[in-house]
Amino acid sequence: MDVVMIGAGYVGLTTGACLAELGHRVTCVDNDALKVARLRRAEIPIYEPGLSELISKHVESGRLSFSDEPALAASKADAVFIAVGTPSGPDGDIELSYVKNAATSLAPLLKPEAVVVIKSTVVAGTAQMVRRLVHEARGRSDVYVASNPEFLREGSAIRDFLEADRIVAGADDARAAKVLEQLYAPLREKGIPYIATNTTNAEMIKYAANAFLALKIGFINEVADLCEAAGGDVAAVADGIGLDRRIGRAFLNPGPGFGGSCFPKDTRAFAAIGRRFGQPQAIVETLIDRNEVRKSALAKRILSELGGKGRRVAILGTAFKANTDDVRDSAALTIMPLLLKAGAKVTAHDPKARHETERHVSGAAWADCPYEAARDADVVVILTEWDEYAGMDLDRLAKSMSGRVVIDCRNLFEPEAVAARGLKYVSIGRKAAA
Ligand code: NAD
Tell me what ipTM this predicted complex has. Answer: 0.99
- Which of 151, 178, 197 is where one domain is finished? 197
User: What is the distance in A from the centroid of ligand 1 to the CA of 153?
Assistant: 14
Burial group, residue 352, by CB count within 10 angstroms (0-12, 13-18, 19+)? buried
- Which of 197, 219, 242 is where one domain is finished? 197
What CATH number does the domain containing 80 carry? 3.40.50.720
Atom of ligand 1 nearest to the CA of 101: 18
Q: Taking the model in full, what pTM does it have?
A: 0.92
- Which of 181, 197, 213 is where one domain is finished? 197
Residues annotated catalytic, as ranges: 262
Structural domain total, the chain = 2
46 falls within a domain: yes
Domain shared by 284 and 181, yes or no: no
Give pLDDT tens digits for 120-155.
999 999 999 999 999 999 999 999 999 999 999 988
Instruction: For the chain of 434 residues, list the mean pLDDT of each consecutive stretch of 10.
Output: 97 98 98 96 91 97 95 95 94 94 96 98 97 97 98 93 98 98 98 98 98 98 96 97 97 96 94 95 98 97 92 97 93 98 97 97 98 98 98 98 97 96 95 66
User: What is the distance in A from the centroid of ligand 1 to the CA of 294?
Assistant: 28
Give pLDDT tens digits for 57-115.
999 999 999 999 999 899 999 999 999 999 998 888 999 999 999 999 999 999 999 99
Domain shared by 23 and 97, yes or no: yes
Domain shared by 189 and 295, yes or no: no
User: What is the distance in A from the centroid of ligand 1 to the CA of 98?
Assistant: 9
Ligand 1 contacts CB of residue 150 (under 6 A): yes
214 falls within a domain: no
Burial group, residue 395, by CB count within 10 angstroms (0-12, 13-18, 19+)? exposed
241 falls within a domain: no
Beta bridge partners of 314: 347, 380
105 falls within a domain: yes
Domain that holds residue 410: 263-427
Domain shared by 177 and 103, yes or no: yes
Give the whole-angstrom CA distance, residue 415 versus residue 396. 17
Domain shared by 176 and 71, yes or no: yes
334 falls within a domain: yes
Domain shared by 115 and 190, yes or no: yes
Cα–Cα distances in angstroms (integers) from residue 289 to residues 222, 318, 363, in the given order: 13, 21, 27
Neighbour tally for 359: CB within 10 Å: 8
Give the whole-angstrom CA distance, residue 319 versus residue 333. 9
183 Cβ neighbours under 8 A, 6+ residues apart: 1, 3, 19, 22, 24, 79, 117
User: What is the distance in A from the centroid of ligand 1 to the CA of 261?
Assistant: 10
Domain shared by 292 and 409, yes or no: yes
Give the whole-angstrom CA distance, residue 423 versus residue 323. 28
Ligand 1 contacts CB of residue 12 (under 6 A): yes
Q: Whose CA is nearest to atom 44 of ligand 1?
A: 150
238 falls within a domain: no
Ligand 1 contacts CB of residue 182 (under 6 A): no
